[in-house]
Structure 1
Amino acid sequence: MKTFQVGDLKLKINRLLLPIFLISFVFGYLREMLIIFLVVFIHEISHYLVAKKVNVKIEKIELFPFGGVAKMDHDYVIKPSHEVLIAAAGPFSNLLLLFLAELLIFYNIVGSPYIYFFQLSNVAIGAFNLLPIFPLDGGRVLRAIISIFYGIQKSTLLSIAIGKVFSIMILVLGIYLSYLSLDNIYLIPLAMYLYYQANAEKKMAVFLLMKEIIRKKETLLNKGIMNTEHLTVLDAVNLNMIFSSFKSGKYHFVTVIDREGMLIGTLTESQIIDGISKYGGQITLIAYIKIIKRKESIQ
Structure 2
Amino acid sequence: MIKCFGITFSIHPLFTIVLILSIATGYMMEALTLFSIVLIHELGHVAAIRVFGWRLKVVRLLPFGGVAEVEESGNVPAWEELVVAIAGPAQHIWMIGFAWGMKVCGVFDPAWWDYFIEANLMLGLFNLLPILPLDGGRMMQCAVSYFLPFHQTIRVSIALSLILSAVVVGVAIHEIAAGRIQLSIAVVGVFLLVSNWYAWRQVPFHFLRFLAVRGERGTTFIHAGTLAQPIVVAKHRTIEQILKLLKRERYHLVYVVNESGKIQGVLPEQRLLYAFFYEKKQGSAVSELFM
* TM-score calculated relative to the size of structure 1: 0.84
Taking the aligned partners of 1:233 and 1:76, their CA distance within structure 2 comes to: 24
Deviations 1:77-128 (A, max 9, x none): 4321111111111111112212222233345455520101101111111111
Instruction: Using the TM superposition, give the Cα deviation of residue 224 of structure 1 relative to its aligned residue in structure 2, in angstroms.
Output: 6.2
Instruction: Tell me the residue number matched to 2:207.
Output: 209
Is 1:292 the counterpart of 2:283? The answer is no
Partner SS for 2:242:
helix
Number of aligned residues: 288
Instruction: Using the TM superposition, give the Cα deviation of residue 129 of structure 1 relative to its aligned residue in structure 2, in angstroms.
Output: 1.0
Taking the aligned partners of 1:13 and 1:188, their CA distance within structure 2 comes to: 20
Q: Which moved more, 1:55-64 or 1:105-114?
A: 105-114
Instruction: Tell me the residue number matched to 1:124.
Output: 122
What is the aligned-residue RMSD (CA, Å)? 2.8
Instruction: Tell me the residue number matched to 2:134.
Output: 136
**Runs of 5+ in structure 1 lacking a partner?**
295-299
Instruction: Using the TM superposition, give the Cα deviation of residue 184 of structure 1 relative to its aligned residue in structure 2, in angstroms.
Output: 1.4
Partner SS for 2:267:
strand
Change (3 A) 1:254 1:219: closer
Instruction: Tell me the residue number matched to 1:235.
Output: 235
Instruction: Tell me the residue number matched to 2:172.
Output: 174
Is 1:12 the counterpart of 2:10? The answer is yes
Instruction: Tell me the residue number matched to 2:30.
Output: 32
Letter in 1 for 2:122: A
Q: Which moved more, 1:257-266 or 1:17-26?
A: 17-26
Instruction: Tell me the residue number matched to 2:266.
Output: 266
Is 1:255 the counterpart of 2:252? The answer is no
Larger radius of gyration: 1
Instruction: Check whether the contact 1:230–1:254 (CA below 8 A) recurs between aligned residues.
Output: yes
Instruction: Check whether the contact 2:75–2:216 (CA below 8 A) recurs between aligned residues.
Output: no
Taking the aligned partners of 1:205 and 1:82, their CA distance within structure 2 comes to: 22
Instruction: Tell me the residue number matched to 2:146.
Output: 148
Deviations 1:154-182 (A, max 9, x none): 21111111111111211221221110126
* TM-score calculated relative to the size of structure 2: 0.86
Letter in 1 for 2:289: I
Letter in 1 for 2:246: F
Instruction: Tell me the residue number matched to 1:79.
Output: 77
Give the alignment partner of residue 191 of structure 1, picking from 153, 178, 189: 189
Partner SS for 1:32:
helix
Instruction: Using the TM superposition, give the Cα deviation of residue 222 of structure 1 relative to its aligned residue in structure 2, in angstroms.
Output: 7.2
Deviations 1:252-296 (A, max 9, x none): 211122354322221221332344454654444xxx31x3343xx
Letter in 1 for 2:135: D
Instruction: Check whether the contact 1:152–1:208 (CA below 8 A) recurs between aligned residues.
Output: no
Identity among equivalent pairs (%): 22
Deviations 1:159-215 (A, max 9, x none): 111111111211221221110126113333322221221122223333333333333
